[in-house]
Structure 1
Amino acid sequence: MGTGSRHLSVHFDRPVDEVYAFASDPANLPRWAPGLGSSVMRVDAHWFVETPEGRARVTFAPANEYGVLDHEVLTPSGQTVYVPLRAIADGDATEVVFSLRRAPGMTDAEFDRDTALVESDLARLKAVLENPDS
């Protein structure tokens, strides 16, 4: 056990502006990150997702020209989880990098499980953006 990060990346054959616009819209979360929650709703200035544990609040970084998609998730139990996420231009394509932080006390098996979940979400994001009609 220990702390640290895994930087998980996926290459997209889509322009960075398109990837950023889609991924930065909380309304799109159920399409590519269903593990976060089954549905999303906006209440006043806040976005919420329904999770098996209850409603969680998701706050994205303000719109920016740098591809920063960082967000915080305030879980139903009151824990705040910071999620570093970037969309980086690669010519006419994009690389998305998710920095998965290891929580204190997390076992290797738990960290591997979370890694697999994030990799699945990133693969789903790639599929949705590269094959919008499927």
Structure 2
Amino acid sequence: MPTKSSSRAETRTTSIDAPPEAVLDLVADPHNLPRWAPGVARAVRPDGDDWLVDNGEGETRITVRVSREHGTVDLLAAADPRLGAFTRVLPNGDGSEYQFTLFFPGDVPEDAVARQMAIVQDELRTVRTLCEPA
């Protein structure tokens, strides 16, 4: 069903051979962002209820909203919580499925969306590598 939104949603997912709790523990802790999303966060530090994320070019303030009950971890722009990455960890057999959704304004060029989602795919592979037993 069409919406009146001018945003485009893109979702990627990966299966992980680890329990949902292990995946949630990794992605829900902002200190871990540099480990699995180094392009977004080279360093992270708490600032009140928010987090300051340094991407190497400057700092961005984010809000991390976690619901362990629902398996969600949202990494949101502190200035506008409608913007950010919306993620969810789901049980999948003995393992997990990690879903990652970004919204893009309707006028973002297709190649820019494709580049960003390729980065997301790399991040998802890194989450899988960090969570699965060696």
- TM normalised by structure 2 equals 0.85
1:87 aligns with 2:89: yes
**Equivalent position amino acid for 1:43 in 2:** D
The separation in 2 between residues aligned to 1:25 and 1:98, in whole angstroms, is 16
* Deviation per residue, 1:91-128 (Å, 9 max, x gap): 22000011122223210100100110111111111111
Count of equivalent residues:
128
Q: Choose from 99, 102, 105 the match for 2:104.
A: 102
1:3 CA drift (Å): 4.0
Q: Choose from 63, 68, 89 the match for 1:64.
A: 68
**Equivalent position amino acid for 2:121 in 1:** E
Q: Which has the higher strand share?
A: 2
- TM normalised by structure 1 equals 0.85
* Deviation per residue, 1:68-104 (Å, 9 max, x gap): 1112034xxx676321110011122000011122223
1:31 aligns with 2:35: yes
Gaps of 5+ in 1: none
1:9 aligns with 2:13: yes
Q: What is aligned with 1:129?
A: 131
4+ long deviations beyond 6 Å = none
Instruction: Please tell me whether the aligned partners of residues 24 and 68 of structure 2 are also in contact (alpha carbons under 8 angstroms).
Output: no
The separation in 2 between residues aligned to 1:39 and 1:21, in whole angstroms, is 18
Q: Choose from 15, 19, 22 the match for 1:18.
A: 22
- Percent identity between the two aligned chains: 27
Q: What is aligned with 2:3?
A: none
